[in-house]
A and B are shown apart, each in its own frame.
Chain A
């Protein structure tokens, strides 16, 4: 009975995180199937790594504060796994983005896309991004500056000027 409750609670915990994870996965791999596979594979890896946390933990499913705290904890760790797996796949698969709307974004390399997503979309701080990606502070700042330059159309303007 406890097991049934735990499985259900674990699923209820992750369900609200899925749209965010989908957004990150598509930022890394702009292909529906690849993004879906990334979400499932990264969750599997995360769960194997943290299984004792979820199998042995006695959390109070009715405590909203506890739920929020757990969800936040889970999201940060899951994102870390997803980013490492996703960046490796993005480099190996070299998926081309054929759309028109977000061409500047996909012009960025995978790790810069992730930094941009974490910074501008999720509002993470630089230390949080450093920890999630295993980057040094100056690397994160450099990627933020590069993404800002390209996303604000800076690259296009400088190309036009050089013509």
Chain B
């Protein structure tokens, strides 16, 4: 029973990926050798996987997508335009210096 509680407490950390290599191996070995605990582990695994379903997924409407894409294209355009203007300005200053 003590063993079972000890390993049951390790399950959340196992899913979080915070157990050390040796602790993982110990837990997996216990799961493999204890049928009842393996069933309990599967139950916890299902609960853990269900957490993903509690993260909201909002539909990305085509209208919203088009709006955002158009604004992002403008941002990219402005970036290149600013750099081109910068280059032209620098070239003009260089030419003025030379003349």
Contact = CB atoms under 8 A, between A and B. Distances in A.
Interface of A: 3, 6-7, 10-11, 14-15, 18-19, 22-23, 26-27, 30, 32, 36, 39-40, 43-44, 47-48, 51, 54-55, 101-102, 104-105, 116-117, 119-121, 125-126, 141, 144-145, 147-148, 151-152
A11 B72 contact: yes
Question: What's the dominant secondary structure at chain B's contact region?
Answer: helix
Contact of A121 (B12, B55, B80, B83): B55
Interface of B: 12, 16-18, 47, 50-52, 54-58, 60, 64-65, 67-69, 71-73, 75-77, 79-80, 83-84
A147 B16 CA distance: 12
8 nearest A-B pairs in the assembled complex, by CB-CB distance? A102-B56, A151-B54, A121-B55, A26-B58, A40-B71, A22-B60, A120-B52, A120-B51
A44 B82 CA distance: 13
Contacts, number: 90
Nearest to B78: A44
Contacts of B18: 126, 141
Given A51-B79, A102-B54, A145-B12, 6 more contacts: A18-B60, A40-B75, A47-B75, A126-B18, A151-B54, A152-B50
Contacts of A26: 56, 58
B16 A10 contact: no
Contacts of A117: 55
Contacts of B77: 7
B71 A152 contact: no
A47 B79 contact: yes
Most A Cβ at <10 Å: residue of B16, B52, B58, B60: B58
